[in-house]
Amino acid sequence: MDVLIVGAGAVGRWVATVLDGPVAFADADEDAAVNAAAERSDARAVPLDGDQTFDVVCVAVPMRAATDVIETQADRANRALVDCTGSMEAPLDVMASVAPDLERVSYHPLFAPEHAPGRIAVSTGEGGPTTDALTAAFEAADNELVTVSATEHDEAMRTIQGRTHAAILAFGLAAEEVPDELSTPVFADLEALRDRVTGGTPGVYADIQDVFDGAEAIAAAASQIADADREAFAALYDDAR
């Protein structure tokens, strides 16, 4: 099958590495598509506004652009329309609206591409032989696939990504420079998490906060701790545990 990957960033390029067959890249940044295609002998760059169709269109763009890109690229898919954008409910709803006759699946790699392989969440709107082949390709690349409903996935991501990232970034903002020799194991663990999160791309984490929030819940919890007397603190401590 031939696949069009819309989005020539890290996720789109990673998807291409697990597929067996010709791949085309399209991106708002034409140079990015050309550079991604140059990484494979059986890949090419195509215009984002082209009219060529493919067996599969895989949308791998930032979450903020996912639904718009799905709408504009759906008519280029002959068999299946899938996404790897990070959220599931909104992409699958749009897929069902604009491509009701196609196979439709949302994949979310639960890792940064540089840390592949890993777990991939999978939510199916309408399955079939083409998406089965895609899923098999992800599995063949040593990834563990986890089947989940779109609603369950997005609700879980509010804690797994939204609140987790907000807490780590809040620690990074609140922490002051301290002597290395005074570090404790807990502090060192948090420093390592801060370094991992801030070693990424700010826009990715901004998108996660926009879609899954998290910062308000972390701020509210911090306020509870700040305002608690010893008895209230003990109760909060037990709740956290």
The per-residue pLDDT for range 74-84, each reduced to its tens digit, is 999 999 999 99
| Average confidence (pLDDT) over 148-165 | 98
Interstrand relation of 54-59 and 23-26 (parallel, antiparallel or unpaired): unpaired
What is the number of structural domains in the chain?
2
Distances (CA, A) of 150 to 5, 63, 103, 126: 22, 15, 16, 13
Q: pLDDT tens, 43-72?
A: 999 999 999 999 999 999 999 999 999 999
Tell me what pLDDT residue 103 has: 98
What 3-state DSSP class applies to 106? strand
Q: What does the buried/exposed string (b/e) look like for 28-45 if buried means 16 or more CB atoms within 10 Å of the residue's CB?
A: eeeebbeebbeeeeebeb
Instruction: Output 111-115 pairs: Cβ under 8 A, ≥24 positions apart.
Output: 112/10, 112/200, 113/10, 113/11, 113/13, 113/14, 114/10
Q: Are residues 65 and 177 in the same domain?
A: no
- Domain at 75, CATH number: 3.40.50.720
Same domain, yes or no, for 9 and 126? yes
Domain finish residue from 128, 148, 168: 148
Token pair 């392989």 is at which residue? Answer: 117
Confidence class for position 185, pLDDT limits 50, 70, 90 = very high
Interhelix angle 150-157/202-212, nearest 10 degrees: 120
Has this prediction a pTM greater than 0.75? yes
Q: Please check whether residues 15 and 128 belong to one and the same domain.
A: yes
CA gap 75, 101 in Å, rounded: 11
Measured CA to CA, the distance from residue 23 to residue 41 in angstroms comes to 10
Distance CA 73, CA 178 (A): 51
**Are 183 and 106 found together in one domain?**
no
Asked if residue 12 and residue 65 are part of one domain, the reply reads: yes
Q: Domain check: are 15 and 108 in the same one?
A: yes
- The range of the structural domain enclosing residue 82 comes to 3-148
Same domain, 106 and 134: yes
Question: Does residue 37 register a pLDDT over 90?
Answer: yes
Q: How confident is the model at residue 236 (pLDDT cuts 50, 70, 90)?
A: very high
- Identify whether residues 133 and 165 lie together within a single domain: no
204 with 171, same domain: the answer is: yes
Q: What is the three-class DSSP state of 81?
A: strand
Q: Which of 89, 118, 148 is the last residue of a domain?
A: 148
